[in-house]
Structure 1
Amino acid sequence: MCFPCKGHKNTTFGRMAKVKYYYDPETLSYQQIAVRKRDKFKNSMIFLTAAVLFMVLGFFILTPFLESPTEKAQKRELENLKLHYELLSKRMQETSEVLTGLQERDNYIYRTYFEANPIPDEQRKAGFGGVNRYKNLEGFDNSDMIKDVTKELDVLSKQIVVQSKSLDEIVALAKEKEIMLASLPAIKPIKNEDETRMASGFGMRMHPILKYRKMHNGMDFTAPTGTPIYASGNGKVVRANRSATFGKVVYIQHGFGYKTVYAHMSKIAVKKGQKVKRGDLIGYVGNTGRSAAPHLHYEVHKNGRPVNPIYYYYGDLTPEQFIAMQKASQEERQSFD
């Protein structure tokens, strides 16, 4: 067994239990240090307190620099959401620009062509009033971002709904326009090669029988008896009989405020209630009623009032033919009826 050298204190022996000794110079021997239980408890508490303090300080100091797997996953998810938000914002901006271009074409081209009133910006871009629609989105770390994108989507959705309804209206107007264009009295009721001449135009004319000037509400086309007469536009025959003034006469209701009259026929080829299309045969030139010679008296009425038929021959007259007819119609010659 080894003994400690002179002058050493508090020396322990090899691998024995941790029992502490001190050297007593008076007795020239080693004495065991007796530790009281109270001191042991006190030392233990000091150690535990120091350990707890160290752990707490370490937690607060190191926590900002340490991330748990859950926190790392949440951070990656948040970065991913921010990226998607930026992409979504960009796409909404692009969609908004496309929609703006469509709105401009809708107002200034489509609706102008079909004679419809443009949709005001106040109606297209009106916001959402009343209660707070986005209250349930408040209280989150990114509430402002979420509310902004939700508002943009709501406004964009409303504009798309308004534009969709407008396009539905344009489609309906286009269909109606197609029907209207087919219904307009747009051709001469007698073919150019069958017509002898345009005998009298619209305006004040000398009546051939009554021998005084009176309003002539149509145009007279001279042609041999039996020359075919055609409907100048799609419509429905509302009258096909004989009158004292017009002789055998046909009235066609075209819709959209238009009506045409074909008078002094020798023979009627349609019946009341019959639907006809532009160019259909409706009768033949004659000299019936109050007429001075075989001819067709032709009238166009718009909203119940007679108008000059010359402005409705755009379907089969060249510019040169129109100018010649216009010049002839302005000559105040005697009418044929």
Structure 2
Amino acid sequence: MAKVKYYYDPDTLSYQKIKVRKREKFRTFMLMVLAAFIFMILGFVVFTPVFESPKEKELKRELEFVKLNEELHSKKIEQLGKVLAEIQERDNNIYRLYFEVNPIPDEQRKAGFGGVNRYKALEGFNNSEMIIDVTKNMDILSKQLYVQSKSLDEIVKLAEDKEKLLAAIPAIQPVENKDLTRMASGYGWRTDPFTKARKKHWGMDFTAPRGTPVYATGDGVIVRADQTSAGYGKHIRIDHGFGYVSLYAHLSNYNVRKGQKVKRGDLIGFVGNTGRSQAPHLHYEIFKNGNRINPINFYYGNLSPEEFEAMQKAAQIEGQSLD
């Protein structure tokens, strides 16, 4: 049974019974419901961060894991960048310098990406700035690695060419010292054995008995093995590539044919006395880009310093050549 409430009426000097209307009861009820709803909302807002659901906890852990991974990736990219910088330094100042090619400028190595925004799809997320930064650094690193890879490909090619060049350059004496009678004449002005006039002698004469072996002084291809060139008699020409050609004249016989590939030290022919020659000997010349050059500078492959010095002194003596 509901309690009856009274109020004191000063006009009648007596207590009067309080009568509550239904409308007021309804309004009071609605206010209580509204207040309860408001308190519920406030409680949800205030206490939700404290009391997380399992799903929210899982998502939070995943987000923290993503952030940790991004930090680790950033550190790895930084470390790789340092390693790459060292390789680039060696590439420019050792490898490319050794092979006499221009270094790659930093502007080319570290050029950015112009034009459209490559990272627009990564914008609008909570960690967009961090993700874009890591992705951009990875792109820059990838481009630098590509440039460095191309440079190393070029270095490998240059190394192969350098190796071929070193093998191709005429670098040994065409007749062995043990087979020589003497080094008759060097490169320069000499007396012609037939006219007795001073004449430029374009090669070196190695005096040796007829049939003495003659060797290729560098790797190459036989481009001539005939006696149709005036004065040379039976002679051989080897194209070594890189602009070098060697010539072996006054031979008695051949051991090679035109078009054959030879290696340095291969037996190619034999000393003779054919053509414009006064006595058995080998006349030896070297051409570089079509111009005759002094062969004395190309015997580093099989002569000791003492032997080279002795040959140099003999070559400088002005006398009569044998052809």
Q: Shared topology, TM-score over 0.5?
A: yes
Q: Which moved more, 1:53-62 or 1:319-328?
A: 53-62
Q: What is residue 293 of structure 1 aligned with on the other side?
A: 279
Distance 1:250 1:325 in 2: 23
Deviations 1:77-102 (A, max 9, x none): 22222211111111111111111111
Could you tell me which runs of 5 or more consecutive residues in structure 2 were left unpaired when the two chains were aligned.
9-15
Q: What is residue 203 of structure 1 aligned with on the other side?
A: 188
Q: What is residue 28 of structure 1 aligned with on the other side?
A: none
Q: Does 1:323 align with 2:290?
A: no
Identity %: 64
Q: Does 1:180 align with 2:158?
A: no
Distance 2:259 2:305 in 1: 36
Q: What is residue 159 of structure 1 aligned with on the other side?
A: 144
Distance 1:86 1:320 in 2: 66
Q: 2:3 aligns with which of 20, 25, 36?
A: 20
Larger radius of gyration: 1
Distance 1:113 1:247 in 2: 43
| TM superposition score normalised by structure 2 | 0.91
1:21 match: secondary structure: coil
Distance 2:106 2:185 in 1: 52
Deviations 1:246-304 (A, max 9, x none): 11111111111110000111222222222222111111111111112211110011111
| TM superposition score normalised by structure 1 | 0.87
Q: What is residue 189 of structure 1 aligned with on the other side?
A: 174
Deviations 1:163-195 (A, max 9, x none): 111222222222222222222111111011101
Q: Does 1:333 align with 2:319?
A: yes
C-alpha displacement at 1:218, in angstroms?
0.8
Matched-pair contact (CA < 8 Å) for 1:239–1:249:
yes
C-alpha displacement at 1:63, in angstroms?
4.2
C-alpha displacement at 1:115, in angstroms?
2.8
Matched residue count: 316
Counterpart of 1:276 in structure 2: which amino acid?
A: V
Q: What is residue 203 of structure 2 aligned with on the other side?
A: 218
CA distance change for structure 1 residues 215 and 20 in 2, over 3 Å: closer, same or farther?
A: same
Q: What is residue 115 of structure 1 aligned with on the other side?
A: 100
C-alpha displacement at 1:23, in angstroms?
8.0
TM alignment of 1:301-312, pairs within 5 A: 301-312=287-298
Q: Does 1:80 align with 2:65?
A: yes
Q: What is residue 261 of structure 1 aligned with on the other side?
A: 247
Matched-pair contact (CA < 8 Å) for 1:20–1:33:
no
Q: Does 1:91 align with 2:65?
A: no
Distance 2:112 2:199 in 1: 62
Q: Which moved more, 1:206-215 or 1:298-307?
A: 206-215
Matched-pair contact (CA < 8 Å) for 2:6–2:18:
no
2:179 match: secondary structure: coil
Q: What is residue 86 of structure 2 aligned with on the other side?
A: 101
Could you tell me which runs of 5 or more consecutive residues in structure 1 were left unpaired when the two chains were aligned.
1-16, 26-30
Counterpart of 1:183 in structure 2: which amino acid?
A: A
The two structures, once aligned, show a CA RMSD in angstroms of 2.2
Counterpart of 1:104 in structure 2: which amino acid?
A: E
Q: What is residue 169 of structure 1 aligned with on the other side?
A: 154
Matched-pair contact (CA < 8 Å) for 2:255–2:268:
yes
Distance 1:259 1:318 in 2: 24
CA distance change for structure 1 residues 168 and 46 in 2, over 3 Å: closer, same or farther?
A: same
Distance 2:308 2:93 in 1: 32
Q: What is residue 12 of structure 2 aligned with on the other side?
A: none
TM alignment of 1:217-296, pairs within 5 A: 217-242=202-227, 243-296=229-282
CA distance change for structure 1 residues 49 and 114 in 2, over 3 Å: closer, same or farther?
A: same
C-alpha displacement at 1:35, in angstroms?
4.0
Matched-pair contact (CA < 8 Å) for 1:251–1:259:
yes
Distance 1:215 1:130 in 2: 66
Distance 1:57 1:271 in 2: 103
1:165 match: secondary structure: helix
TM alignment of 1:29-108, pairs within 5 A: 35-108=20-93
Distance 1:76 1:23 in 2: 62
Distance 2:196 2:286 in 1: 24
C-alpha displacement at 1:111, in angstroms?
2.1
